Amino acid sequence: MKSISSSVCLCALLCVAAGCRGARVDLIPLNATEVVHIAHQTTIPADSAAWRVMMRRGKRDIVFTVLTETHKNDGLRVAGLSDLGNTLFLADIAPDGHVTVLSNKTGVSGKRLENSFVRDAIVPFVYISPENAHAYKTEDGRIVRQASTASGRSHAHVYGVSDGMVQEYWRLHGRRRVYRATCVTPGAWFQEGYEVYDSARRYSAVYRPLRMEP
């Protein structure tokens, strides 16, 4: 009986661990023609953006507003606000992607804040340079531009087959996709918003752009 229970526990742990590691993605190298095709795809980020965020972790919902602005040094600034106006967090992101948490009243650690609330908010601003990236194809034929990050991991943009628009943003640990942000309408990140799923931290979030009245 003891060995059966242990096996069940082990299986459960392995299942959980596999989920946390994220889905495996098999990327197929592209030929030169296809590389040229995506090399001209660029996204022009907005100067600023305001998002209504609905985050779900387990059964719990967390709802807040995020403001993101570009700055003179090409960096970004991100602020999270509660409905009643309190500043939940402030962060500064350098052009090289380094995040400095300036204020954190969320109760989570600065590292966790950086890797969830802050990194989610800057997804539409991420630029992957063609010079430093490798191009691949997914099994369903979409094109992927993947580059290494400062942390030694990698990230990628996924482009649609027919329109060449950016459909998704991934973070990868080796061949495992641990983070996926999907644009509601390919290419229209700032106009239509996006959905996030982080398999490592096990949360999902929906980012809807706020349209301000004049």
Partner 1 sequence: MLERSHFLNSFICSLACLFISLIWAAPVCDAFSDNAGAAWDAPQTQEFLQELEACHRDTTVMAASFRQQKKLKMLREPLSAQGYICFAAPGRLRFEIVQPFQSVLLYRDESISRFEKEDGQWKSLDTRTVRVMSLVMEQIAQWMQGKFEDSQVFEISVTQDTGQEPVLHLTPSHERFREVIAGIDLMIGPPPERPIQRIAVREPDGDSTEIMFTQTWRGITLPDALFQSPEVSPEKAIAAEKAEP
Kindly list the residues in this chain that would bind partner 1 in the complex (CB under 8 A): 48, 50, 52, 54-55, 57, 59-63, 65, 67, 69, 77, 79, 81-88, 90, 92, 102-103, 105-108, 112, 116, 203, 206, 208, 210-213
CB of 79 to partner 1, least distance (A): 5
Closer to partner 1 by CB, 68 or 154: give it: 68
Minimum Å gap between C-beta 119 and partner 1 is: 14
Query: DSSP string spanning 156-184?
Result: EEEE-TTT--EEEEEEEETTEEEEEEEES
Q: Which is nearer to partner 1, 27 or 206 (CB)?
A: 206
In whole angstroms, the minimum distance from the beta carbon of 21 to partner 1 comes to 20
H or E element that contains 133: none
Nearer to partner 1, 197 or 203 (CB): 203
Query: To the nearest whole angstrom, how small is the minimum distance from the Cβ of residue 67 to partner 1?
Result: 6
Of the two residues 80 and 186, which places its CB atom closer to partner 1 in the complex? 80
Report the residue number, 27 or 54, with the smaller CB distance to partner 1.
54
Element (H, E) at 146: strand 143-148
Q: Beta partners for 53? A: 64, 207
What six digits make up the tokens of 81? 């606000």
Q: What is the DSSP string of 36-103?
A: HHHHT------SEEEEEEEEEETTEEEEEEEEEEE-TTS-EEEEEE-TTS-EEEEEEE-TTS-EEEEE
Output the smallest distance, CB 200 to partner 1, in A.
14
35 versus 62: smaller Cβ distance to partner 1: 62
Q: Coil, strand, or helix at residue 207?
A: strand
CB of 92 to partner 1, least distance (A): 8
Q: What are the beta bridge partners of residue 104?
A: 89
